[in-house]
Structure 1
Amino acid sequence: MTSRDYKFQGWLGFSADSVNGNLRWSTYTPKPWEETDIDIKVTHCGVCATDISTLRSGWAPVDYPQCVGHEVVGTVVRLGSKASPNSPLSLGDRVGVGAQSSSCMASDCEECSGKPSYENQCQNFVGTYNGVFKDGTKSFGGYSDYIRIPGRFVIKIPDGLESMHAAPMLCAGITVYSPLKNFGSGPGKKVGIVGVGGLGHFGLLFAKALGAEKIVAISRSSAKRKNCEEMGADGFIATDEEPDWAAKNERTLDLIVSTVSSPKMPLEGYLQMLRPRGTFVQVGSPEDKLPAISAGSLIVKGARMAGSVIGPPWEIEEMLKLAVEKHVRGWVQPRGLMEANEALVDMKDGKARYRYVLVNEKHLHE
């Protein structure tokens, strides 16, 4: 199959107002084909808060038009002769791509050539959308019929994991799985997850899958308490409803992963809950600065603050394997690809419980 057999079409945003339900279905030109590339016929694509921030130029001005979507699952329809994905692929294989589509991939890059590699931390990170490849062309995302991606960043979806559930793991899932694994969630550890949304609910699920001794969900209100208990939370803290919540839970958690993107978070309170030598990891990305903290919050207990961004391809594969073994399944709600505008608005209004996944129905039955 060649690129002449199908068109690259998707939902494009032409201005910051596109986030308000004003995406337009349009044709676009993908990056020029290289033999290291793979074309994917999209069947599923998760809706991420990053899509919203990007479309409205929340972090920085965006080069419109823009097609968002970086939790993509579909089938291989064109496979370059030099494509070198993490697992050998064939035409028709079910694959996915997360928030990264390229990096420098240079042999002298510590992040790209290390053993293990951490391409997600490469200085020349290229996003699956709103990125720029080496040749100066733009990357386009998965609110589309087809997507073209360098093979190194294409992940084979394992049997036993439905596409609907695999898609949101490729960004939301790996965003919390990576810090949970790398900063010590496991047997004997007490873990807190701040924020119960698309990211946070995966945090609860993967903390349980990794064997944490105790898992505490931390939210502003108690509205999601029952859901959190069903996801595996042993405790729940409602910060807007419980007086002295930080003091009552002082020195109780080994690891806290914060998924919230509000600059108004009670950061000092979160740090108060850390045990000595505990770690606070921020994965949510506010469009403004985090609150100031006192140095004593870290110094007295030898605590650490850290950040984490998605994960490298090999770690995504590892996460998907664990999801199959432990039967981790996110709470997802399917929406038709042609409902992308409505899904974005509903996501922006906080209605998702807990991840929308756009389904390209016509590609499911071809």
Structure 2
Amino acid sequence: MASPKFEGWLGKSPESVKGKMEWGSFEPKKWTEDDVDIEISHCGICGSDLHTLKSGWGETPYRMDVACCVGHEIVGKAVRVGNNVKNVKVGDRVGVGAQSRTCQQSDCPECSTGNDTYCARNMVNTYASFYPNDEGKSMGGYADYNRSNQQFVFKIPEGLDSADAAPMMCGGITVYSPLRQNGCGPGKTVGIVGVGGLGHFAVLFAKALGADKVVGISRKADKKDDVLKLGADQYIATDEDKDWEKKNARTLDLIISTVSSAKMPLTGYLGLLKTRGTLIQVGAPDGGELPPVNAFTLIANGVKIGGSATGAPWEIEEMLKLAADKKIKPWIQERPMKDANKAIVDMDAGKARYRYVLVNENYGKH
């Protein structure tokens, strides 16, 4: 198949996050025989898209001739497959997440040990990154087509709906990986801080992995019914539940924090951990600032704070299989791709319950 026509929603300045993306054509990365072209049927809206559009995590490489097309929760059909690609064939239903390529070298400390997401040599994100060897800029999934390296293109299992699978490609794996890496399973009690797009996935996956008890933690009580319906066993509203720190002290083995705020009560959260417990931060605020922590908060109970990015290819495949086997059903709201500008404004306003997924009305019409 010849190269398809690549068109999508283009950000051209930080003002784009205010619903000012423009639909237009763009040049994908140069084709190599390691690549897959995907006709996009669905693309989830991730908080990362908003941070990138407004240059919240650093300056986004906007250029008038090569704008930024965000979106890294992509599902669609493989329509062109390079000769070197082993895991995908034309016609397969596939997905792409937040990364598109790493160095993949056998002597890389990360890529050689199943930690590809932390590769320090060559990390190409699905959008707003540049490929080596002058292959061009990566462009994301608010579009009709995506071109990505085979390393992070995955077949979607049968039984998993495309609209449900799309937000798993970033939102799902961002919480699945730290749950899996930190021993979530039978015998464990797990707290989820911030029950939004990421947090609601964390509740679903913590239960699917067999945690004995899952506790949703948020500021207000207005999400309590939702969180319990998702499968949580308890809910803590930190702004409304009196003495929540004392009443729940040392009850959790693991906390996954999805909150992106320098004002969150981090010391209080750490007090919920059992001795030797762990808090993993996955929420990434603009500028990266977190609340200060007194050393004795860590020392007195032997607790740990860590961080986690998304997930390596083997983890993504494992997550998708678990989701299909356990029939995990995220809470999503489908929005037309043509209304992407309105959808990102609503996302920024916190209206999603709990993940928006863009549905491409052009899919199958080319």
Give me the whole-angstrom Cα distance separating, in 2, the residues matched to 1:184 and 1:300: 23
Aligned to 2:73: 71
Matched position secondary structure for 1:362: coil
Which of 119, 124, 127 is the equivalent residue of 1:122? 119
- For the aligned residue pairs, the C-alpha RMSD in angstroms reads 1.0
Give me the whole-angstrom Cα distance separating, in 1, the residues matched to 2:125 and 2:246: 40
Aligned to 1:89: 88
After superposition, the C-alpha distances for 1:292-337 in whole angstroms (9 at most, x for unaligned) are 0011111122111110011011110100100111111110110011
Give me the whole-angstrom Cα distance separating, in 1, the residues matched to 2:213 and 2:231: 9
Offset of residue 365 of structure 1: 6.2
Name stretches of at least 5 consecutive residues in structure 1 with no aligned partner.
none
Give me the whole-angstrom Cα distance separating, in 2, the residues matched to 1:355 and 1:211: 24
After superposition, the C-alpha distances for 1:112-146 in whole angstroms (9 at most, x for unaligned) are 122xx211010122110011111242100000000
Matched position secondary structure for 2:48: helix
Deviates more, 1:133-142 or 1:50-59: 133-142
Say whether residues 1:54 and 2:56 are aligned partners.
Answer: no
Give me the whole-angstrom Cα distance separating, in 1, the residues matched to 2:71 and 2:159: 24
Letter in 2 for 1:77: V
Offset of residue 362 of structure 1: 2.5
Aligned to 2:363: 363
After superposition, the C-alpha distances for 1:230-288 in whole angstroms (9 at most, x for unaligned) are 00111101011122211221101000000011111110000000000100000000113
Matched position secondary structure for 1:200: helix
Matched position secondary structure for 1:275: strand
Aligned to 2:217: 218
Aligned to 1:134: 132
Say whether residues 1:13 and 2:15 are aligned partners.
Answer: no
Aligned to 1:307: 307
Give me the whole-angstrom Cα distance separating, in 1, the residues matched to 2:262 and 2:319: 29
After superposition, the C-alpha distances for 1:70-113 in whole angstroms (9 at most, x for unaligned) are 000000110000124xxx32111000000000111122112112
**Equivalences for 1:115-194 in 2 at 5 Å?**
117-123=114-120, 124-136=122-134, 137-194=136-193
Aligned to 1:286: 285
**Equivalences for 1:264-283 in 2 at 5 Å?**
264-283=263-282
Letter in 1 for 2:137: K
Give me the whole-angstrom Cα distance separating, in 2, the residues matched to 1:253 and 1:364: 48
Name stretches of at least 5 consecutive residues in structure 2 with no aligned partner.
none
Give me the whole-angstrom Cα distance separating, in 1, the residues matched to 2:100 and 2:92: 18
Aligned to 1:197: 196
CA contact (8 A) 2:262 2:290 kept: yes
Offset of residue 364 of structure 1: 4.8
TM-score (norm 2): 0.96
Letter in 1 for 2:15: D
Aligned to 1:244: 243
Give me the whole-angstrom Cα distance separating, in 1, the residues matched to 2:115 and 2:42: 26
Give me the whole-angstrom Cα distance separating, in 1, the residues matched to 2:345 and 2:286: 18
After superposition, the C-alpha distances for 1:206-253 in whole angstroms (9 at most, x for unaligned) are 000001111100000000000001001111010111222112211010
Letter in 2 for 1:81: N
Letter in 2 for 1:119: D
Which of 17, 33, 36 is the equivalent residue of 2:34? 36
Matched residue count: 359
Matched position secondary structure for 2:277: strand
Aligned to 2:232: 233
Letter in 2 for 1:105: Q
Letter in 2 for 1:42: I
After superposition, the C-alpha distances for 1:156-198 in whole angstroms (9 at most, x for unaligned) are 0000101000000000000001111111211111100000110
Give me the whole-angstrom Cα distance separating, in 1, the residues matched to 2:327 and 2:79: 29
Matched position secondary structure for 2:249: coil
Note closer, same or farther for the CA distance 1:82–1:290 as it changes in structure 2 (3 Å cut): same
Letter in 1 for 2:124: V
Identity of aligned residues (%): 57
**Equivalences for 1:324-335 in 2 at 5 Å?**
324-335=324-335
Matched position secondary structure for 1:223: helix
Moved over 3 A (4+): none
Give me the whole-angstrom Cα distance separating, in 2, the residues matched to 1:181 and 1:112: 18
